[in-house]
Amino acid sequence: MRFADKVVVVTGASRGIGKEIARAFAAEGAKVACVATTENGANATASEIGNGAKGYACDVSDSAAVDSMIESVVADLGTPAVLVNNAGITKDTLILRMKDEDFDRVINVNLKGAFNCIRAVAKPMMKARYGRIVNLSSVIGLHGGAGQANYAASKAGVVGLTLSVAKELGSRNITCNAIAPGFIETDMTEDLPAEFREHVEKTAPAGRLGTAADIAPAVLFFSSEESAYVTGQTLTVDGGLFL
């Protein structure tokens, strides 16, 4: 019960990796604020995981909506000890076909969304002189991906954001780290071509794609007391695919 009575905000908690992260926190005693674009999605996870969890509908790319969502979390549950910036989208296509709006939307959700949430929790966390921030990057942000210029740029940006937040807020006992997952079985990867899946299964030493349950324990480590002396790091969790 490493998170007994701690308030944890998880964005993108309605599905996939975020839902599993929210479940893992609640299982260790946290009161989880489950954030998703719709009330139904956010509330469904909150009622499933229990332990005082509450759902919040919020588009993380909208800074005013994020500020008011964090204000509500503080009023309803208390000051967040942990923020997990997990909300993310893809709009993959080749550069020559990529529309301005495809580029902008992915940057606005994946990168600016993380920034919006960090800025909103920074004040209460600084006041509490405690905080753990964990950002979801991607192996694509570290290595690039054909057809993913927008996504790769957003996830590389998340690494730079993580480093800067670690430097700026470290003296207030706030750490900031990132996880770079490989290919994980969720809605985001359900359309991967069969040949690509086979390639991952053959190439990764782990011999398979990852699951959300492979990612959550790494997020919980960076969110715990045990990682007090670890900050600004990006941990790849990809079954060895990019070794």
* Residue 162 sits in the site that holds ligand NAP (CB under 6 A): no
Q: Which of 8, 9, 10, 17 binds ligand NAP (CB under 6 A)?
A: 17
* Residue 38 sits in the site that holds ligand NAP (CB under 6 A): yes
Under rule CB under 6 A, how many of the chain's residues touch ligand NAP? 31
Q: Which of 23, 59, 103, 236 binds ligand NAP (CB under 6 A)?
A: 59
3-class SS string, the chain: CCCCCCEEEEECCCCHHHHHHHHHHHHCCCEEEEEECCHHHHHHHHHHHCCCCEEEECCCCCHHHHHHHHHHHHHHCCCEEEEEECCCCCCCCCHHHCCHHHHHHHHHHHHHHHHHHHHHHHHHHHHHCCEEEEEECCHHHHHCCCCCHHHHHHHHHHHHHHHHHHHHHHHHCEEEEEEEECCECCHHHCCCCHHHHHHHHHHCCCCCCECHHHHHHHHHHHHCHHHCCCCCCEEEECCCCCC
Q: Which of 43, 86, 150, 231 binds ligand NAP (CB under 6 A)?
A: 86
Q: Which stretch binds ligand NAP (CB under 6 A): 8-16, 72-80, 94-102, 225-233?
A: 8-16
* Residue 107 sits in the site that holds ligand NAP (CB under 6 A): no
Q: Which of 46, 136, 159, 176 binds ligand NAP (CB under 6 A)?
A: 136
| 130 is annotated as an active-site residue | no
> In the complex, which residues of this chain contact ligand NAP (CB under 6 A)?
11-18, 35-38, 41, 59-61, 86-89, 109, 113, 136, 138, 181, 183-184, 186-189
Question: Which residues does the annotation mark as catalytic?
Answer: 151
